[in-house]
Structure formats: C-alpha cells, structure tokens
Structure 1
C-alpha cells in the first residue's frame, strides 16, 4: 500500500506566518480550463534545499533524483507539550542508518487550520546534531518547521542544511505508518531553477529487500 503524506494545495490554506498566501484561481478559456497559482515556495508540504538558509547552497534543481527516494522511518514524538524542544533522547530505540529519511510524528497535524498548529514541538540543536552524526539524508516533520515557529530561531535548519540534509515540513498522515518499520520514502518537489524550496508530493510504502537489523 502507498501512503500519501502531502497536504493538498488550495486557496486559503495555512502558511508559515508571514509567507505569501496561497491562491488557486480557475481561468476559463473555452473549451479549455487552466488555473493561475499564487504561493510561496514553502507552501503546504514542501522540501527545503540548502539554499533556503545559505545563498550559495544547493538549490532544488541541483538535487539529484537519488537523494529524493530511499529508506525511511517514522519516529514518534507525540505527547510533548506546545513549543517543546525535542532532544537526542527521542532517537532511543530506533536504528538509524546513513542515507535514511527520518520523519518525526509530533501529532500536531490535528491542529491544522487552528492557531495551535504554530506551537508545535520542534527539533533542538542537540537533536539536529545527532541526526547529522548519523548521516541521514532527509528530516521531515508534521509541522510548520523543524525549528520553533512561535519563538523563531534557525538552529535545526542551519545544522541540517549546512550538512546537505534535506528538510520536509507540513507532512501529514504519519499515523498511518508503523513505528519501527522501514518504508521507502519518496519526495518529489517542483523542479524550480535556483529554488530555495518547493511544494512536494511525499509518498511512502513498505520497503522490500531491506535488512532492518
């Protein structure tokens, strides 16, 4: 079974505070129908490229396809209070290998379209550094940001993107994935030239032929 972990794009959807609003405007050219799209590069479920933090960093169009698909695992960090900093201890009991995607399930997606969504738990600097040391290829979260949205800051973004670890934010439906199970995780961003980020379709399915030991 294939799982879609992506937010639908529609007018008026939640965006990170200060980002451009999303507008999908149908245009009619009988007998054809097209739509005019207005949105920021970090709207909905999206991929952050290193250029999001570093002006001369890798852009969306520089990311090779092999970096966008590979083994991944869900880590449950549910039950933490609003704006809680997540530390390295949340990795205990999980076997992470170099090249994995690590998806953090905070459970905060239940607050989508509510003010509480901006007060999600976030990845602290020590946890980000632990992920760097484990040489993961991608870090995802079911929230606006890997950093605190209400307090600002950029420690997680800086540490991960400096080390060419991609970031996916605003994931959803992570509760459909089993903990401890290795999935194939694929993230397909729009191919924006020089892009700092791009809306993405993120899919997961059970991996085959992968030794989890």
Structure 2
C-alpha cells in the first residue's frame, strides 16, 4: 500500500447508465442556460456494483454509512471459479486453494465470469450461489468482504435462500459486495481491495466504486 505507483489498478465497477435497471439520469443544468452542466441521478440502492448493509434484511440496524471505513480497504484473495455451471451452488470445497492461507480480516472475490452475462436473462436467473455451509465457513474465518460478479450472492428468485444466505453472512459481520466486473483482468492470487460505497444516510445499501491493486 505504500507505493501505489508500482501497482496495477483494475476497476472492478460496472458502468452506471440508463441501460441498468433502477437507473435514470436526467439533465438538471446545462452550460448554455445555467453556466454549468449537471445531472440528476435516480439510483436504485442495489444497482450495478453495490454494497449491502445489514438493515437490507434487518439482520441488525447497521446502515451503509455506519460501516467502519477501516474495513473498506483490505487484502483480498481471488478464487477462479469460471468452471462452474449456471445455478451452481458454491461450497466450502471451492475454498480449498485458500483454506489454509486466508487470515481473519481478509476478503474473498469469486471470479465466476458471470459479469459477461450482464443484460441477459441468465445474469439474474441462473447465477452461481453461495451455499449456507460456505456462508458459515466465511463467518468462522472472519472474512471481511465477500465479493461476487453476480447481482446477488443467492438465488434472487428464491426469497428463502436469499434471506438465509444474507442473514448468515451479515450476522457474522461479513460485508457483501455484488455486481463486480473485470475480474479476468487480475493476474495475482491476492490483491489489495478498495470497496467504497456512497455514504447514504440510513442506507440499506449503495452503489460502490471497487478497485483492485495488484
């Protein structure tokens, strides 16, 4: 972290535009009439690359702006899971490459290649999911952030599963980041992760700028 200039920086954040569900961008000011250009952004709190807060599922009352800023920068392990099939259930066995190496307070990014399916029906409906056993394992390991390429860590069409997996992770103080992209540009097994959500008062979640330094 001391010499940023020597590190390769990869932006893991999806582009926010009006093609994205829950996003509208309108002109608020223009240079000719008002003296400057400005826009009004209407953003669904879980659009694109975003971070969840425990209040999202009322696991605790913690909101997005209450997440400790010290947790937004961490060392993160990259797991290549691009071999997984659609709707795969990701278990503890997939953690074998890092099981003996990961330390409390480090993060995990799951590279499934799922961001390549953005704007397709499969992106939302066939996503790989985190199992309950894996969510418990992450809690026991003291994982700081779990980041995924899919729009959710669980099957968004199964409210019981979505609630269970989010609840397990949030009860164990694991921060959830969803909607990552560009993980294929990473070449290292471990990187420095910066995941900074918008500081929204009483936020249940917020779009985040996520960067990898390797």
Asked if residue 113 in structure 1 is aligned to residue 119 in structure 2, the reply is: yes
The aligned counterpart of 2:26 is 25
Alignment check: 8 A CA contact 2:59 2:170 kept: no
**Secondary structure of 1:70's aligned partner:** strand
Ranges in structure 1 where 5+ consecutive residues have no aligned partner: 16-20, 207-213
TM-superposed CA distance for 1:168, in Å, is 0.3
Asked if residue 200 in structure 1 is aligned to residue 208 in structure 2, the reply is: yes
Distance 2:170 2:60 in 1: 12
Which one of 153, 165, 169 corresponds to residue 160 of structure 1? Answer: 169
TM-score, scaled relative to structure 2: 0.88
The aligned counterpart of 2:182 is 173
Distance 2:138 2:57 in 1: 18
* Aligned residue pair count: 199
TM-superposed CA distance for 1:57, in Å, is 2.5
TM-superposed CA distance for 1:143, in Å, is 0.4
Query: Higher helix proportion, which one?
Result: 2
CA 1:92/1:56 → structure 2, altered by over 3 Å: closer, same or farther? closer
Matches within 5 A, 1:1-213: 1-13=8-20, 15=21, 21-29=22-30, 30-54=34-58, 56-94=60-98, 95-118=101-124, 119-152=126-159, 153-154=161-162, 155-180=164-189, 182-206=190-214
Distance 1:115 1:166 in 2: 27
TM-superposed CA distance for 1:178, in Å, is 2.6
Runs of 4+ in 1 over 6 A off after TM superposition: none
138-147 or 79-88, which deviates more = 79-88
102-111 or 148-157, which deviates more = 148-157
| RMSD between aligned residues | 1.4
**Secondary structure of 1:32's aligned partner:** coil
TM-superposed CA distance for 1:149, in Å, is 2.3
Ranges in structure 2 where 5+ consecutive residues have no aligned partner: 1-7
Distance 2:182 2:71 in 1: 22
Alignment check: 8 A CA contact 1:74 1:178 kept: no
**Secondary structure of 1:109's aligned partner:** helix
Distance 1:83 1:184 in 2: 29
TM-superposed CA distance for 1:195, in Å, is 0.9
For residues 78-111 of structure 1, give each alpha carbon's deviation from its aligned partner in whole angstroms, at most 9, with x where no partner exists.
Answer: 1222111111100002121110110111111111
Alignment check: 8 A CA contact 2:88 2:129 kept: yes
CA 1:88/1:55 → structure 2, altered by over 3 Å: closer, same or farther? closer
